[in-house]
Amino acid sequence: MPREMPKFDKAPPELVARFEAALGRVGAPDTTRRKMFGYPCAWINGNMATGIFASQWWVRVSEPDREILVAMPGAHQFEVMPGKAMGRYVTMPDTLIADDAELDAWLGKALDFTRTLSPKK
């Protein structure tokens, strides 16, 4: 029997607007946007760099940056399915998301790290 996809909550419109605004500040010509699981995401060379999932905003970062980010209160490994952490993807804490300078810095780290990955076909 086919497995049913879980139902996902909609992303808050203000979070989606913040995502779009931040990518407008930090994104570059090599950053493309498309949806994953119905949520906005940013991609570089076919690799996911950052995105929204329900009310969470995650970034893909290097291992040293992942350790720093996960240590922040409110941050945690990103999981689409409970118990299934997605590697270097980390959900950013709300306090970071609310601060333009901090948010832009972490988005920059995510985009820079994603540029180091081999392009996907």
Range of the domain at 31: 13-115
**For residue 6, what pLDDT is reported?**
56
Q: Is residue 7 part of a domain?
A: no
Q: What pTM, to 2 d.p., does this model score?
A: 0.88
Q: Closest Cα to residue 94, out of 42, 18, 36, 30?
A: 18
Q: Is residue 107 part of a domain?
A: yes
Mean pLDDT of 79-98: 86
pLDDT band at 7 (very low <50, low <70, confident <90, very high): low
pLDDT, tens digit, for every residue of 31-73?
A: 999 998 889 999 999 999 999 999 999 999 999 999 999 999 9
CATH number, residue 38:
3.90.1150.30
How many structural domains are present in the chain? 1
pLDDT over 60 (residue 82): yes
